[in-house]
């Protein structure tokens, strides 16, 4: 059961038009029809749908939207629903901070079960806030195929039991339009490509994460991202970048839209989203600068969720056939160990893919280091991003 | 006799009690919670300590970052209000004065956009002003430009977005006011020698002021409390005070500061309403709806 709101419906339409799947006339026709539908029948239909769903076990899933959600829906949730009779209600969040705000405001986790959680830092935050569940790994036998290197950082935080299963990984590198930036220039400049003055007004940036900006600030100032000593220098680089930026994007769909329509030529970007753009035929190249930011994502189960059904879903999602299909769809490598599970050529060609299964070539955030400064530096980033 | 007077005095309160009850439950008590929260202390992300301290208030009073946001908010609200008043008066006047038999159709067209999500209406500007938008397409078609003009993600698009969303409020208020004016007054002024412009300026405009003033107040307050439009249509420097509240609550997970900023915005917009009522007289505004 897929519930999408008007904004999401619009984004899907916009992506389809960007891909050339529908023409402009059809796009505006469908947009108008969607608007009328939402206005006339949205509330009633939502109420009726809620009643209709009340019969089965429901799992509320929140994730990143766009191609990622589509890959999960097509390759994991739909087959899971058909196989088990349970229902997965998937929605797009604006980030985990938004979910935490809602959960905190409500005082419980009702309506929130599984999150496509970003990295070990957020795993630690959910655990520290007391919203973590305890998974029974005996009910998730497919976890045996997951890379040890990707599970260990999670186990270090909750040694007794996991609250999530690592599901995919990727990098936040630099995307550039090859019509305007050559590969040689991109490689020569590395992270400093984001500071090229000649591209003023054609540079983008991710506005949703202070740590992403700080990581690139560290690369631009020659500091070790996991051992930043000079924060003033970091934010000075962020200011320099801000003055060149047209738009800080806030979602993967917006990132793809800005690059596809050539509103921006250069931005830091999520590897899978760039792979999706490349698959659509856009002249967008991707590079991971030295010490580029790598991350892993997990399927985090919140406290209070129906655990047996949640574990069943996680096991289903970690099944090699499902996991590989999702990875090909969302264009982020699977967390499964390539030494245990044969990957397809499409996955082996993905940016950030590590054939060794050890992930020792990728640099991840040290949650102990980054979480310790987050309160102070988030505030600083919010100010810098707004001209401060 | 005295007893009868007293019971008569209580009747307005009895009649008002459902409204007062609703306002207390839905506005006063939640705002009281927010005020109390503003004195708590945020010790870590999403972790607050229950205490009574003025740290958040002191920061808002002394930090120039917040003052800049207040200035930007007031400035943009004034710009949007003035432009909406000018742009809204013309269609309101047309709808009020037209002899078109099915006037209700025009009013229906006015409220039709409300059937579509506010976010989608805001996002639609990307398809008009964007690189591959309608405007750039037209420019290319007419041979005016070779490369697309960069029109999006600046203060101009934010203002356009605000006006697009709030203009119907302005038009409806002015329309209601114009509709209540005796239609013989303008011809009467003309028979006394006034030009059409003089008749409008000396008769219609002053009589429609309550509606115009009510529309201005509404648009000003709605703009001042917004944050989504700059988020979607603005660049890095385009933000309002509401965006700082969003940052504090959602990004920094600092609810005490979010509460302080929310209350500050409430106070500032409330102050505008009070000053406005002193200058314009809220009783005058009520005439707009008679």
Query: How far, rounded to the nearest angstrom, does the alpha carbon of residue A256 sit from its chain's CA centroid?
Result: 13
- Is A101–B250 a contact, with Cβ atoms under 8 angstroms apart? yes
Instruction: Give the residue with greater pLDDT, A293 vs A15.
Output: A293
User: Cα(A275)–Cα(A201) distance, rounded to whole angstroms?
Assistant: 24
* CATH number of the domain located at residue range(s) B63-289 in this protein: 1.10.3720.10
Helix or strand holding residue A168 (H, E): strand A164-177
CA of A111, closest CA in chain B: separation in Å?
19
What pLDDT sits at residue A23? 56
Query: Which CATH architecture best describes the domain A170-294+365-385?
Result: 3-Layer(aba) Sandwich (3.40)
Query: How far is residue A255 from each of residues A274, B142, B184, measured CA to CA in Å?
Result: 9, 30, 58
List, in sequence order, every residue forming a beta bridge with A298; answer none if it has no partner: A117, A166
Chain A environment of B116 (Cβ under 8 Å): 6, 35-36, 38-39
**C-beta atoms of A382 and B252 within 8 A:** yes
Task: Kindly give the pairing relationship between strand A266-270 and strand A164-177.
Answer: antiparallel
Which of A21-35, B107-121, B149-163 bottoms out in mean pLDDT, i.e. has the lowest? Answer: A21-35
Question: How far is A242 from A355, CA to CA, in rounded Å?
Answer: 36
Distance from CA of A7 to the nearest CA of B (A): 6
Q: Nearest chain B Cα to A247, which residue?
A: B235
> Could you give the angle at the alpha carbon of B127 between the alpha carbons of B125 and B130, nearest 5°?
90
CA-based R_g, chain B, Å: 24
State the maximum Cα–Cα separation within chain B, in Å, rounded to a whole number.
86
Shortest CA gap A268–chain B (Å): 16
CB B183 within 8 A of CB B231: no
pLDDT band with cut points at 50, 70 and 90 for residue A287: very high
Size of interface A-B (CB pairs under 8 A): 104
Percent of chain A with pLDDT over 70: 86
pLDDT number for residue A289: 93
d(CA B133, CA B245): 32
Q: Which helix (H) or strand (E) holds A286?
A: strand A284-287
Contact assessment for residue B221 and residue B266, using Cβ atoms and an 8 Å cutoff:
no
pLDDT of A3 higher than 50 = no
Place of tokens 């008590």: B29
Q: Which residue has the tokens 């302005």?
A: B170
Quick check: B55 contacting A, CB < 8 Å? no
pLDDT digits (tens, 9 = 90+) for A87-97: 999 998 888 98
Confidence of residue B101 (pLDDT cuts 50, 70, 90): confident
pLDDT at A295 over 70: yes
A32: left (phi over 0), alpha (psi -120 to 50) or beta: alpha
Report the alpha-carbon distance of residue A300 to residue A18 in Å, rounded.
32
**Residue labelled with tokens 């008569």:** B8
Pairing of strands A284-287, A164-177: antiparallel
- Is residue B4 very low, low, confident or very high in pLDDT (cuts 50, 70, 90)? low
First and final C-alpha spacing in chain B: 34
Distance from CA of B9 to the nearest CA of A (A): 42
> Residue A190: how many CB atoms within 10 A of its CB?
17
B244 contact residues in A (CB cutoff 8 A):
382, 386
Torsion over CA: A7, A9, A15, A20 (sign): negative
Residues 6+ apart with CB under 8 A from B18: none
Label residues A53-67 b or e (16+ Cβ within 10 Å = b): eeeeebbbbbbbbbb
Distance of CA A101 to the CA centre of its chain: 19
Domain positions in chain B are 63-289
Give per-residue pLDDT as tens, B177-202. 999 999 899 999 999 999 999 999 99
Say which CATH architecture domain A6-169+296-360 belongs to: 3-Layer(aba) Sandwich (3.40)
Residue with the bigger pLDDT between B288 and A167: it is A167
Q: Is B136 on the interface with A (CB under 8 A)?
A: no
DSSP assigned state of A108: S
CB-based contact B53:B39 (threshold 8 Å):
yes
- Report phi then psi at A112, rounded to 5: -130, 120
Of the listed ranges A30-34, A56-60, A146-150, B224-228, the least confidently predicted one is A30-34
Residue A45 has pLDDT above 70, yes or no: no
B152 and A CB contact within 8 Å: yes
Which residues lie below 8 Å from residue B22, measured CB to CB, with a gap of 6+? none
Q: Report chain A's C-alpha Rg in angstroms.
A: 21
Chain B residue closest to A5 (CA)? B117
- The string of pLDDT tens digits covering residues A337-374 is 999 999 999 999 998 899 999 998 899 998 889 989 99
> Which of B37, B251, B254, B256 to substitute to test the interface with A, most A CBs within 10 Å?
B251
- Alpha-carbon gap, residue A276 to A19, rounded angstroms: 10
* For A102, nearest residue in chain B (alpha carbons): B250
Return the bridge partners of A155, or none.
Answer: none
Mean pLDDT of chain A: 88
The alpha carbon of residue B45 is apart from the nearest alpha carbon of chain A, in Å, by 6
B230 in A contact zone (CB under 8 Å): no
Closest by Cα among A63, A47, A131 to A95: A63
- Comparing A183 with A10, the larger pLDDT belongs to A183
Helix (H) or strand (E) holding A264: none
CA distance A325 to A121: 27
Q: Considering only A24-38, A41-55, A349-363, A365-379, which range has the smallest mean pLDDT?
A: A41-55
pLDDT digits (tens, 9 = 90+) for B213-268: 999 999 999 999 999 999 999 999 999 999 999 999 988 999 999 999 999 999 99
Q: How far apart are CA B246 and CA B64, in angstroms?
A: 18
Q: With bands split at pLDDT 50, 70 and 90, how would you rate the model's confidence at B176?
A: very high
Q: Which residues of B touch A387 (CB under 8 A)?
A: 68, 236-237
Maximum average pLDDT range among A49-53, A231-235, A352-356: A231-235
Closest CA to A222 of A321, A291, A156: A291
Per-residue pLDDT tens over the stretch A199-228: 999 999 999 889 999 999 999 999 999 999
Nearest-CA distance A80 → chain B (Å):
32
Write out chain B in H/E/C secondary structure: CHHHHHHHHHHHHHHHHHHHHHHHHHHHHHHHHHHHHCCCEEEECCEEECCCCCHHHHHHHHCHHHHHHHHHHHHHHHHHHHHHHHHHHHHHHHHHHCCCCCHHHHHHHHHHHHHCCHHHHHHCCHHHHCCCCHHHHHHHHCCCCCCCCCCCCCHHHHHHHHHHHHHHHHHHHHHHHHHCCCCCHHHHHHHCCCCHHHHHHHHHHHHHHHHHHHHHHHHHHHHHCCCHHHHHHCCCCCCCHHHHHHHHHHHCCCHHHHHHHHHHHHHHHHHHHHHHHHHHCHHHHHHHHC
Q: Which residue is associated with the tokens 């420019």? A: B139
Reply yes or no on whether the pLDDT at A242 is more than 70.
Answer: yes
Q: What is the reported pLDDT for B278?
A: 84
Residue ranges, CATH 3.40.190.10, chain A: 6-169+296-360, 170-294+365-385
B236–chain A Cβ distance below 8 A for any pair = yes
Backbone angles phi, psi at B158, to 5 degrees: -65, -45
Q: What does the mean pLDDT of chain B come to?
A: 91
Q: Which residue has the tokens 């003025």?
A: B54
> A343: which DSSP letter?
P
Confidence (pLDDT) at A52: 46
Give me B126's structure tokens: 């990307």
Q: A248 and B236: CB-CB below 8 Å? A: yes
d(CA A350, CA B171): 54
Region A52-79: mean pLDDT is: 84
pLDDT category, A42, cuts 50, 70, 90? very low
B241 touches A at CB < 8 Å = no
What pLDDT is stored for residue A26 in this prediction?
A: 57
The mean pLDDT value for A142-157 works out to 95
The H or E element containing residue A1 is none
pLDDT for residue A237 is more than 70: yes
Find all residues with CB under 8 Å of A359, minimum gap 6, and list them: A147, A149, A150, A169, A294
Sign of the alpha-carbon dihedral angle for A96, A99, A104, A105: positive
Per-residue pLDDT tens over the stretch B35-61: 999 999 999 888 899 999 999 999 999
Q: What pLDDT sits at residue B13?
A: 86
């Amino acid at each position: 059961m897929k519930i999408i709101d008007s904004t999401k419906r619009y984004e899907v339409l916009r992506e389809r038009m960007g891909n050339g799947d529908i023409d402009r006339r059809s796009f505006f026709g469908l947009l108008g029809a969607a608007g009328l539908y939402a206005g006339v029948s949205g509330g009633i239909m939502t109420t009726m749908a809620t009643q209709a769903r009340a019969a089965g076990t429901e799992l509320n899933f929140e994730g990143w939207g766009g191609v990622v959600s589509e890959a999960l829906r097509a390759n994991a949730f739909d087959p899971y629903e058909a196989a088990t009779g349970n229902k997965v209600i998937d929605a797009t969040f604006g980030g985990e901070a938004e979910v935490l705000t809602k959960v905190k405001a409500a005082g419980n986790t009702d309506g929130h079960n599984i999150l496509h959680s970003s990295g070990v830092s957020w795993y630690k935050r959910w655990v520290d806030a007391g919203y973590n569940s305890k998974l029974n790994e005996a009910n998730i036998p497919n976890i045996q195929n997951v890379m040890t290197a990707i599970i260990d950082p999670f186990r270090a935080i909750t040694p007794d039991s996991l609250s999530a299963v690592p599901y995919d990984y990727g990098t936040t590198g630099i995307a550039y339009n090859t019509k305007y930036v050559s590969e040689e220039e991109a490689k020569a400049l590395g992270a400093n490509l984001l500071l090229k003055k000649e591209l003023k007004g054609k540079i983008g940036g991710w506005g949703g994460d202070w740590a992403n900006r700080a990581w690139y600030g560290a690369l631009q100032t020659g500091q070790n991202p996991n051992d930043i000593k000079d924060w003033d220098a970091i934010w000075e680089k962020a200011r320099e970048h801000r003055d060149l930026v047209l738009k800080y994007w806030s979602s993967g769909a917006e990132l793809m839209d800005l690059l596809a329509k050539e509103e921006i030529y250069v931005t830091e970007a999520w590897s899978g989203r760039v792979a999706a753009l490349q698959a659509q035929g856009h002249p967008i190249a991707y590079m991971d600068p030295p010490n580029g930011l790598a991350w892993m994502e997990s399927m985090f189960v919140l406290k209070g969720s129906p655990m047996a059904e949640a574990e069943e879903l996680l096991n289903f999602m970690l099944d090699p056939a499902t996991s590989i299909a999702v990875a090909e769809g969302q264009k982020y490598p699977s967390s499964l160990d390539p030494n245990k599970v044969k990957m397809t050529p499409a996955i082996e060609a993905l940016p950030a893919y590590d054939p060794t299964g050890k992930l020792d070539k990728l640099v991840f955030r040290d949650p102990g280091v980054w979480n310790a400064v987050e309160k102070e530096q988030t505030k600083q980033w919010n100010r810098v991003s707004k001209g401060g | 006799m005295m007893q009868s007077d007293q019971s008569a005095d209580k009747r307005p309160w009895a009649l008002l009690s459902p409204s007062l009850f609703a306002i207390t439950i839905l506005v006063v008590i939640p705002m009281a919670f927010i005020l109390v929260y503003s004195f708590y202390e945020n010790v870590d992300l999403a972790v607050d300590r229950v205490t009574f301290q003025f740290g958040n208030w002191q920061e808002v009073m002394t930090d120039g970052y917040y003052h800049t946001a207040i200035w930007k908010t007031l400035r943009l609200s004034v710009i949007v209000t003035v432009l909406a008043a000018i742009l809204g008066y013309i269609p309101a006047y047309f709808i009020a004065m037209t002899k078109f038999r099915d006037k209700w159709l025009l009013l229906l067209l006015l409220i039709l956009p409300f059937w579509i999500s506010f976010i989608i209406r805001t996002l639609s500007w990307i398809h008009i002003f964007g690189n591959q938008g309608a405007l750039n397409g037209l420019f290319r078609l007419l041979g005016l430009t070779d490369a697309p003009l960069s029109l999006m993600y600046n203060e101009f698009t934010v203002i356009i977005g605000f006006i697009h969303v709030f203009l119907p409020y302005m038009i409806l208020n002015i329309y209601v006011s114009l509709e209540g004016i005796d239609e013989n007054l303008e011809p009467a002024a003309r028979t006394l020698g006034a030009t059409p412009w003089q008749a409008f300026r000396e008769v219609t405009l002053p009589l429609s002021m309550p509606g115009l003033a009510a529309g201005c107040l509404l648009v000003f307050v709605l703009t001042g409390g917004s944050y989504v439009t700059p988020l979607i249509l603005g660049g890095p420097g385009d933000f309002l005070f509401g965006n700082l509240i969003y940052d504090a609550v959602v990004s920094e997970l600092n609810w005490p500061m979010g509460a302080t900023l929310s209350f500050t915005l409430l106070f500032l917009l409330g102050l505008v309403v009070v000053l406005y009522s002193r200058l314009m007289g809220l009783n005058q505004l009520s005439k707009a709806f008679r």
